[in-house]
Structure 1
Amino acid sequence: MIIERIWTGNAYRNFNYLIACPETGEALAIDPLDHGKCLQAAKAKGWQITQVLNTHEHHDHTGGNDAVIAATGAKLLAHEKAGSRIAGVNRGLKAGDVVKVGRTVELECLDTPGHTMCHICLQAHGDRPALFSGDTLFNAGAGNCHNGGDPVALYTSFVDQLARLPDDTQVYPGHDYIENNLKFTLDREPDNRDAQAMLPEVSGHDPATSVVTTLQQEKQINSFLRLSSPSLIARLRENFPDLPEQPDAKTVFIKLRELRNRW
């Protein structure tokens, strides 16, 4: 499996991805908003984009579909319930479905509602485990729920699915928000040494060459995966004085998401 991460450089700070089979040169384009850069990258590598996959229905993830499909004839894949929100879906995906790219690449679909209720992530198994997480899990952060999402569903996706993936899973999100997310982590958990150490590495960084974190690192630097941290909970109580002495993980997650909305 070859992963080409494409930095769009746009105001939304999108990442696009090409996932290619090294044997056949067939490629999957994930959320190819910047269709020009995606098509150019595929041409430069000698790859043929045969499939386009949208993690969810927001325009900053679907806006390049038509141009890529017109240029390549690729088939469009998305959540099985996203057909009314994404035009031209050829294959609806549900949890456990496998997306094959060429002869060597297989990606398992995870149904991960929260940011929207029709959101999927892709998990690559094998020697190089990876997660293409769209707007569900960001480096050091979590997606918002402003446009058709639900924070309780997002919590469930995090705790019941993403947190249980192998620790060496590399995380490839839909946007570069790592610097600001680390600042939120340290605002919530000022004594987090891992976040303290990583922040200088990404301050003013070039997202095109930015760090790719693992799930193990996320569990060290991402507030939304650190729901039992005593210092995080103590700090949270400053904003929510009625918080129980030992709040459950869901309550901590929901309150964190509420704070992040206005932080």
Structure 2
Amino acid sequence: MIHVHQFPCLSDNYGFLVHDTDSHETIAIDTPDGKEYLLQAELKGWRITQIWNTHWHPDHAGGNAAIQAETGCTILGPHEVEGRFPIDRVVAHGDVATIGAVRAKVIDVSGHTNGHIAYYFAEAGIAFVGDSVFALGCGRMFEGEPKQFWSSLSRIKALPPETLLYCAHEYTASNAKFALHADPENAALQDYAAEIAAKRDRQEPTVPTTLRRELATNPFLRADDPAMMAKWGGSAPHETFAALRAAKDSF
């Protein structure tokens, strides 16, 4: 059985440690702050045995060296991490990563960066999605292009609706403001936004979120909805997605 320990680090990142109670292995999902990850593992009585990177950005792989030096852990991630930060095994779409006897499927979610991946634990019903999708948002398109990014989001949309999405940042309050601008008549979104505001007032995390809720409220996952396409233009979902992403970038 796996357990997820979530904690804030840096200014708005979340750190995740995944611990398998059978093998006693512990994964660091991304490494925004090596010292904080090592501290959190020590507080839990866990030893980090692996690092799984989702993409190359320093706030996701910058702690690789420090953690590996302290623990001797194995690091795996997408090809784009090579040459930037330490990595031992390159994984890509369709590969399988394991912690003990527990398997996670590697999913291509490129668009934020061109090699971005996610890790999906089917039996546990959880996915670590990095910066590909957020609660009520998605990552800025630094390297990819709209059709590619929409294909990535479609792969996330195809997961079981009850899947818990562990996003890497606490951006939800800001995302909610744009979502309400993009889709103001969405009653489910209005309720969700009110819940988010209350949580943040209490300094509570809004992560993880459920895919089911995001499918109903996240404008970027709804770019194939006829109402969104009519409002935001485009003859294909990726064109509507592009319009939404451009609007969010300047919002």
- With the length of structure 2 as denominator, give the TM-score of the two structures: 0.92
Q: Tell me what 1:215 maps to.
A: 211
Aligned partners of 2:80 and 2:112: how far apart in 1? Answer: 15
Q: Tell me what 2:117 maps to.
A: 120
Decide whether the 8 Å contact of 1:176 with 1:207 is kept in 2. Answer: no
Query: Match for 1:112: what amino acid?
Result: V
| Alpha-carbon RMSD | 1.8
Q: Tell me what 2:237 maps to.
A: 249
Query: Match for 1:5: what amino acid?
Result: Q
Which one of 88, 91, 113 corresponds to residue 90 of structure 1?
Answer: 88
Decide whether the 8 Å contact of 2:61 with 2:85 is kept in 1. Answer: no
Which one of 196, 207, 220 corresponds to residue 224 of structure 1?
Answer: 220
Decide whether the 8 Å contact of 2:147 with 2:239 is kept in 1. Answer: no
Decide whether the 8 Å contact of 2:97 with 2:103 is kept in 1. Answer: yes
Identity %, equivalent residues: 31
The CA deviation at 1:260 is 1.0
**Would the alpha carbon gap of residues 82 and 32 (structure 1) be closer, same or farther in structure 2, given more than 3 Å must change?**
closer
**Would the alpha carbon gap of residues 200 and 157 (structure 1) be closer, same or farther in structure 2, given more than 3 Å must change?**
same
What is the 5 A alignment of 1:131-142? 131-142=127-138
Q: Tell me what 1:239 maps to.
A: none
Q: Tell me what 2:103 maps to.
A: 106
3-state secondary structure, aligned to 1:180: helix
**Would the alpha carbon gap of residues 81 and 173 (structure 1) be closer, same or farther in structure 2, given more than 3 Å must change?**
same
Decide whether the 8 Å contact of 1:32 with 1:64 is kept in 2. Answer: yes
Aligned partners of 1:108 and 1:235: how far apart in 2? Answer: 35
Matched, 1:195 2:189: yes
Decide whether the 8 Å contact of 1:95 with 1:111 is kept in 2. Answer: yes
Decide whether the 8 Å contact of 1:25 with 1:46 is kept in 2. Answer: no
**Would the alpha carbon gap of residues 156 and 211 (structure 1) be closer, same or farther in structure 2, given more than 3 Å must change?**
closer
Query: Match for 1:95: what amino acid?
Result: H
3-state secondary structure, aligned to 2:81: coil
What is the 5 A alignment of 1:12-51? 13-51=12-50
Aligned partners of 1:134 and 1:50: how far apart in 2? Answer: 20
- What do residues 162-211 of structure 1 show as CA deviations (whole Å, max 9, x unaligned)? 11111110000111111111211110111111111111222234565435
Aligned partners of 1:233 and 1:185: how far apart in 2? Answer: 15
3-state secondary structure, aligned to 1:118: coil
Matched, 1:153 2:142: no
Aligned partners of 1:37 and 1:232: how far apart in 2? Answer: 41
* Alignment coverage as a number of residue pairs: 248
Which one of 167, 170, 175 corresponds to residue 164 of structure 2?
Answer: 170
Aligned partners of 2:246 and 2:205: how far apart in 1? Answer: 31
Decide whether the 8 Å contact of 2:53 with 2:60 is kept in 1. Answer: yes
Aligned partners of 2:24 and 2:203: how far apart in 1? Answer: 26
- With the length of structure 1 as denominator, give the TM-score of the two structures: 0.88
Query: Match for 1:77: what amino acid?
Result: L
Structure 1 unmatched runs, 5+: 237-242
**Would the alpha carbon gap of residues 214 and 37 (structure 1) be closer, same or farther in structure 2, given more than 3 Å must change?**
same
Structure 2 unmatched runs, 5+: none
